[in-house]
Amino acid sequence: MPSKPANPTPDVVFKALGSPVRLTLVRTLTGGERCVCDLVEACGLGWSTTSKHLDVLREAGVVSSDKRGQKIFYRLELACVPDFIACLDGAKARRPVARPACDCA
C-alpha cells in the first residue's frame, strides 16, 4: 500500500531538508524511484539510521514509499525539491549581483 503524506508546508519541508544525509537521499531519488537497499548504500549509514531519515522525509511530504514483496521503494513527491537544490548548488558558482544602495532615510 503506497504511503503518501498530506499537504507539505514550507517550514516542515525546509526542516526535513536540513540534514546532509537527507539531502543525499533526495539527490539519489532525483534519478527516479529506488529500493531502500540502494538508499542505504548511497548514504553509507546503517539500515536503522537511513530508515529514520526516510521517515522524516516521508512525514514532511518530500518522499513517498510503497512495499512490493519484501522491498520498500521510495520516490520523490515534490518535483520542485531537486530544482531548488540545483538552484542553491548553482548559487555557489555565481557571483553576487551588484545592487544599488538604498537611499531611504
Q: Which of 70, 4, 5 is nearest to 37 (CA)?
A: 70
Q: Percent of the chain scored above 90 by pLDDT? A: 67
Domains of the chain and any CATH numbers: 10-92 (1.10.10.10)
Tell me the pTM. 0.80
pLDDT digits (tens, 9 = 90+) for 46-92: 999 999 999 999 999 999 999 999 999 999 999 899 988 888 888 76
Q: 45 to each of 6, 33, 42, how far by Cα in Å? A: 28, 19, 8
